Amino acid sequence: MSLSLKTNNENGRKLALAVGIYTIVKAILNMILGGGFGDIIVGVFIAAALYTGLQYVNYVTAGYLVYIALIHLPANISHISDNWIYLIEGIADVACAALIFTNSDIKEHFTNKWDELPELFNK
């Protein structure tokens, strides 16, 4: 079985994949700094989901990134001397979310219909 994913905008797919790779790198960094392995699974899932170009996945991902940044913002600010790297990570999360929300190439990439999902898999 092979996966033949269509893209409606190659540049949008590359940018979306860059955000996905960022989530994996972020998870690895967090694991090194004391997080768990589960973050890497989430990062890989996000990268794969962003690659598909399925409708609304971009908005769900952007919302997730902003949500995570906002949850940790108070602690990161109140302990800025210890958590400055996490504050920078939160800023990067919001920047990635803004890119996903505003970039027209990325928006065009996310126009694959969910009912076309079975057609993405060739036998």
Report pTM.
Answer: 0.85
pLDDT digits (tens, 9 = 90+) for 71-101: 999 988 888 888 888 899 999 999 999 999 9
Q: Where does the chain show beta strands of DSSP type E?
A: 2-3, 121-122
pLDDT of residue 4: 61
The answer, yes or no, to whether residue 3 has pLDDT greater than 60, is no
pLDDT category, 123, cuts 50, 70, 90? very low
- Tell me the average pLDDT of the chain: 88
The token duo for 24 is 């994996």
Proportion of the chain above pLDDT 90, given as a percent: 58
